[in-house]
Amino acid sequence: MRPAVQCHRFLFGVERQQVLDDAGTSGKGAEEIKWRLQLLLQVAEEWQLLLSWSALFSGVSPGSLADDDVLNDQLRVLSRHERLAAECVMALEDKRDKSISFTQMVIEEDSMRNGRGLSDQWADSVVVRPRTTERHITVHRRLVLGFAISILGLIIVTIIAVLLSVKFEECANEGSNRMGNITVHPGARLNQSTESLSSNPSHSKTAGKPWTQLRLPSSLKPYHYELNITAFMDNFTFTGEVSIWMRCVNSTKYIVLHADKLPVEGVTVANSSDRLGIRRYFLYPQNQVLVIMLTRELNALKRYTVRIRYSANIADELLGFFRSSYLANGERNFLAVTQFSPTHARKTFPCFDEPVYKATFKITIKHQEPYLALSNMPVVAVIHEEEGWVTKLFAETPRMSTYYLAWAICNFTFKDTVTESGITVRLYARPDAIQRGSGDYALNITKRLLEFYEDYFNVSYSLPKLDLLAVPKYPYAAMENWGLSVFVEQRILLDPGVSSIPYLLDVTMVVVHEICHQWFGDLVTPIWWEDVWLKEGFAHYFEYVGTDYLYPDFNMEKQRFLTDNLHEVLLLDGLASSHPISQEVLQAADIDRVFDWIAYKKGAALIRMVANFMGQHIFQIGLQDFLTEHMYGNAGRNDLWNKLTEVISVGNRAGLIDDAFNLARAGYLPQNIPLEIIRYLYKEKEFLPWHAASNVLLYLDKLVDRNKEYNIFSQYILQQVAPAYNLLGWPEDAANSSVVQAPYQTEELRRKVIILACKFGIALCHEKTMMLLSEWMASDHNRIPPNVRDIAYCTGISLMDDNVWEFILSKYQSSTAVSEKKILLEALACSKNIFLLNRLLNLSLNSQLVPDQNTIDVIVHVAKYPNGRDLAWKFFRDKWAVLNSRYGEALFMNSRLIKGVTEFLSTEAELKELKEFIKNLGEGTDASFAQATEIVEANVRWHGLLEEELFQWLRKSLNS
């Protein structure tokens, strides 16, 4: 009977005795009480509904409204009333006529507990409304009076809610973040709970709620991140602060970005002049996003910064920022590493975690010794702090997608090597594995593969280093993070004495696959996950092409591809569950699903078929053009098909030019044929044929630039270049334009034409460069467009007096921009003054003025020009001992230096000097010297047999 006794405490004036009396009446009296309780429950539900709607319209969560004492009391009363009403009904059921079946009672009681509506069951049990007695009239009057009071209360609550909303807006406009911090998680629950309130057949659930969509809204575009991570390896936690610079594309009051289970501790939003008010912010777990509601709109075409502080655990799962361990000498050693692909960067820092939102990143990691930290880029600064803490600042990355960002904190050791183009390659692993040499094989083939891909794609590897990290636990065989590729140990470590050929082949193909991704994936990234085959299909195809490069006898692409890939994918593709290589991604669960063997193997089979149809050479040119056009950006399948379709004709023209000049240089074609072919260039509108022509003409120029009749060669080239130069001209001044003033192909075409025009002496080109340099010297304001500064600097120095050389040197010494310093230094080599060139060569050995890694650049650039070629060759021989002493036996730029200094030596005397120099070095000389000897011998042979043939044709052609 306890629930029946408690009923007297109900609202609206129902006295204890009346309730008890009613409880003891006949079944019809009980039905009357149930009817009244139903009414009370409906009133209570309406109060709750009103509060939810008030919160929804005002933007304040129920928890925030409840800060008011009156509202708190009302909410508590309502909650209690709902519970007591339910208890009363169950108590009354106990008092019902015994003729009511036990089964019916259980059903009704179960319905109450499950929150289902009571009205239907009550309606079923009520047969006839009881006759109204005097006592019932009294109860009804009190009920009506109570109901009237409830209506008045509803009005009062509404007014209070509106006032609180207005007050909240005023606080938000003052820039307070307090309420935002309070409602991070309640705000997320509010959006979940109110979703059903706003839904109806004629109104979309997602209207006005961009955070409910799978894709992020396109109103904001991030362009730079600065991320600071402090890792506590003793308790596997970390704190983070990320600052994101964004461009506003369309006006919006919402910032929606990804964050998955990250406890956010503070948010600020600012523009260049002040902070913006934050109404509130909250996590929306369904789509793993953080929503920041602002008090006023972000304006289109303006730039803003959002700064977010948070903390989290270094996870025990193999995604996001997670921990791993290994045993060494009986002790457990820990490390922490990231795995962000495809959608797990958001587990570690708030970000725009979609492939298309590329940006630059600056990473700072703070950790304790003796750990070391790695990331995509090299360390640029190290700060040692108290209690063994170390802060490492990493160089800024190129534009890249969030899921290729990476870092690791470990106590590994490494071995390293350097490619011919100067890329440092390191393999990090457990100290015992490094000591055993288990990583040597992967390290060595990575060096060779980088060189192979640079040559095949005709696109340089974009970063200064590539680290390979072998970890004990990892969710995949490997991950191609740009500059820091991570491998599970079993797929990269190899012990030659005990490893089988299949194991060696497996390691090889995994490494080949991941290095290919540095171009197809990292450099050029699919726009969206539906085209994941654009990176995985290519990487899988090149597993066979790259392995053939390393082991030609394996015949992988022609034979093993058929049995290992094609036959298997035909079997898969015959199943009813198969699908096209491009799949729609409509929900988050679809993203992981697209990484299947259809994307990898069917994608690879399609690519191989296209390559065989087009021919390997044309296909290669198409890939080069595709990568060049979309580098540091995104591309879809149509971009690839359009480029391959286009390149069949454009590539043929470029290939024809390149083949003709190379065959003529080798003596297989008459010398006039390539020069006849380029007569059509004046009407060529595409970049690729001009690019091919520029390469071969500048090479031929170096062979003939010391000929006494050089002027007739340059005059002929000018005739072919002048129409294009007159059409394209120079880009806009730097002060009035962005870095890229026109589409990439147009800018690069213009650049190639300007290089040739200034190199071969078009007067207007010379006048332009001298005018730009003179203006800079007079005003100290450089308005030379960045894309052609190297051309202007070099041409101006070669034409103007020594004061320009001194001016450029002073600018080199004072500049802090790395890219600008590089072209200023290289331009100094363009002088025709032998004294200045000797001075530059000697300065190059001064480490205080020229960084050690740039010394070789100076020597090679001096050797490119006729006035400096003899000087550089002599300097190289005279200073060989100094260079060797400075860089050690493994001179990291050895091959490039040797090639650059000797490539255009072409006389019998120079060949003799080269051979004597090599002989004096003794045994064990670099293999590059043998290659250099072959090249110089070919140059001497061309001069002796074919040079005169070329000039005879030129004289005849110009005279006619």
534-585 per-position pLDDT tens digit: 999 999 999 999 999 999 999 999 988 988 888 888 877 777 878 888 888 8
Three-class HEC string of 405-430: CCEEEECCEEEEEECCCCCEEEEEEC
Question: Greater confidence, 65 or 341?
Answer: 341
CB 657 within 8 A of CB 678: yes
CA-based diameter of the chain, in Å? 132
409 closest CA partner among 372, 368, 376, 378 = 372
The reply to whether 195 belongs to the active site is: no
C-alpha distance from residue 39 to each of 52, 210, 302 (Å): 20, 38, 55
pLDDT digits (tens, 9 = 90+) for 774-795: 999 999 999 999 889 999 999 9
State residue 725's pLDDT score. 96
Cα 179 from Cα 60, distance rounded (Å)? 9
pLDDT reported for residue 192: 30
- pLDDT the model gives residue 642: 85
Q: Give the model confidence (pLDDT) of 578-630 as tens digits.
A: 888 888 888 777 888 888 888 889 999 999 988 988 889 889 999 999 999 99
Q: Which residue would you say has higher pLDDT here, 914 or 160?
A: 914
Whether residue 385 is annotated as binding a ligand: the answer is: no
Confidence of residue 101 (pLDDT cuts 50, 70, 90): very low
CA atoms within 13 Å, Cβ hemisphere of 446:
33
Instruction: Categorize the per-residue pLDDT at 146 as very low, low, confident or very high, splitting at 50, 70 and 90.
Output: low
pLDDT of res. 553: 92
What's the rounded mean pLDDT across residues 827-849? 95
In angstroms, the CA 871 to CA 873 distance is 5
Work out the angle between the directed axes of helices 744-759 and 616-630 (0-180°, nearest 10). Answer: 100
Domain at 212-411, CATH homologous superfamily: tricorn interacting facor f3 domain (2.60.40.1730)
pLDDT at position 893? 61
331 is in an annotated binding site: no
Query: Which one-letter amino acid corresponds to residue 348?
Result: T
Instruction: Give the length of the chain.
Output: 960
CA distance 112 to 289: 36
Q: Are 626 and 638 in contact (CB under 8 A)?
A: no
165-199 confidence digits (pLDDT tens): 444 444 433 333 333 333 343 333 333 333 322 33
Domains of the chain by residue range: 212-411
What residues contact residue 130 under an 8 Å CB cut-off, 6+ apart?
28, 29, 31, 32, 136
User: Is the pLDDT reported for residue 19 higher than 50?
Assistant: no
What is the average pLDDT score of the chain? 81
CB–CB of 428/442 below 8 Å? no
- Rg, C-alpha atoms of the chain: 38
Confidence of residue 159 (pLDDT cuts 50, 70, 90): low
More confident residue, 733 or 759: 759
Does 910 show up as a binding residue in the annotation? Answer: no
Q: How far apart are CA 481 and CA 452, in angstroms?
A: 19
Higher-confidence position of 527 and 929: 527
- Sheet of strand 278-284, all strands in order from the earlier edge strand to the far edge: 252-258, 289-298, 278-284
Percent of all residues in the chain with a pLDDT value above 90, rounded to a whole number: 59
Instruction: Answer for the pair 541, 623: CB distance below 8 angstroms, yes or no.
Output: no
Per-residue DSSP letter, 888 = -
Among the listed residues 93, 514, 557, 747, the single catalytic one is 514
Residues 907-959 have pLDDT tens digits of: 999 999 999 999 998 876 767 888 899 999 999 999 999 999 999 999 998 88
Structure token digits, residue 781: 């304001």
